[in-house]
Amino acid sequence: MQNKQSIKSLIIAELDGEISASGKEELYNWLAKSEVNARYYTHVKDLWDASLANASELAQTKQEWKRFTNRIASQPKKKYQKLYLNTWLKVASVIIIGLLFTNVVLNTLKSPEPVYATCIAPEGSVSQTILPDGTLVYLNAGTQLKYDINTQSKKREVFIDGEAWFSVRKNKQKPFVVHTSFYDVKVLGTQFNVKAYDDDDELVTTLEEGSIQLNFSETIKGENLVLKPGEQLVFNKTERKYLHKLKVDTKLYTSWKENKLIFLEMPFGELVQLLERKFGVEIIVDDESILGEHFTGTIKNESILEILNIIQHTHPIQYKLDGQKVIIQKR
């Protein structure tokens, strides 16, 4: 069983951006075990956000950890609030580790009625959040997630505008429900991806592990569906019906949470939309015939300009910059 001291070290390594892949997996498995663990993570992160020092050097011994927590506790309240706010405002095109509410807030919620908060991943960023029940969520760029922070509520539910990947902590007594505009995704414990941007024509749900049930609203024709691992449902919003359920390589649709994008024969119009969200830029296509081009590739750490340079060397297009806009033209 993982001891508390090593867990502290894992959490700080995660916040410091120096955690290994095996360490990250170990930490997430620990977080998914209980709400107590998720709250402890919140406590450590709050201390981290308030710290002026490099906390990764302070988790090696219990004595150093005690000095670290004592120093944070002794800081003036106004200074703590200012530092926390500044940390939150420094959102950029990097993965943001974030929990919005502390253990103190959660313990004040005694009513069984839902109490909602909203988590946002701005354009050009990917946000990682752990919900009060221990569920791990990644939010893709331009996504808003409204969720219930009251641990006394009778149900677990979230509302999404955008794209999110979920690793849901199992709780048979309280199923987890993701609400979209056209159907609800009901789960007990699983890993899946929901792409539900309001301005997209299609709503796409992809299942990695476990089992999920899609419950359509009363205005949608069709029976409720159950997805198995490796299956994906594509729903057309205009026609108000699902187009197909098919087997897919789930990595193609979930790699974005690792700040990596993989696309196969993607229409240029979709690629433009993807790049706008990922990098927070506006892209204007001068010639609509370019939209018929298809692209295959992987984006990991490249900048928007590096990607555009690759595209213009492999396809008959060129680009120019106009202030904060990128203009694509046919070559």
pLDDT, tens digit, for every residue of 3-21? 666 788 888 787 777 788 7
Residue 80, phi then psi, degrees to nearest 5: -60, -45
User: Which residue is associated with the tokens 């008959």?
Assistant: 316
Full-model pTM = 0.62
Q: What is the pLDDT of residues 94-153, one digit of tens each?
A: 334 333 333 434 444 456 677 788 888 888 888 888 888 888 999 998 999 998 877 677
Residue, of 145 and 42, whose pLDDT is higher:
145
Q: Is 80 helix (H, G, I), strand (E, B) or coil?
A: helix
Dihedral class, residue 150 (left if φ above 0, else alpha if ψ from -120 to 50, else beta): beta
- The strands making up 282-285's β-sheet, listed across from edge to edge, are 282-285, 325-330, 317-322
Q: What is the mean pLDDT of residues 301-315?
A: 83
